[in-house]
Amino acid sequence: MLFDFVFRHLGFCTVVAFFVGAGILILVDLSRSAFGGDLDPLTVHKGEIVEVDQ
């Protein structure tokens, strides 16, 4: 049933899949840049997690 719809409307499904994928990528990029400033750079030194001196 689902494959029948997809094969009959292949162009429409391709366009929808493209825009859904692009939307997900945009949301991920926006969320990473929105919360990127809140995180301090960390590193491991002698088995302990420490902040990186800037």
In this prediction, residue 23 carries a pLDDT of 96
SS3 letters across 13-52: HHHHHHHHHHHHHHHHHHHHHHHHHHCCCEEEECCEEEEC
What is the total count of domains within the chain? 1
Question: Among candidates 34, 53, 35, which has minimal Cα distance to 43?
Answer: 53
Whole-model pTM? Answer: 0.54
Q: How many residues comprise the chain?
A: 54
| Predicted confidence (pLDDT) per residue in 6-26, tens digit | 888 899 889 999 999 999 999
Residue range of the domain that includes 11: 2-51
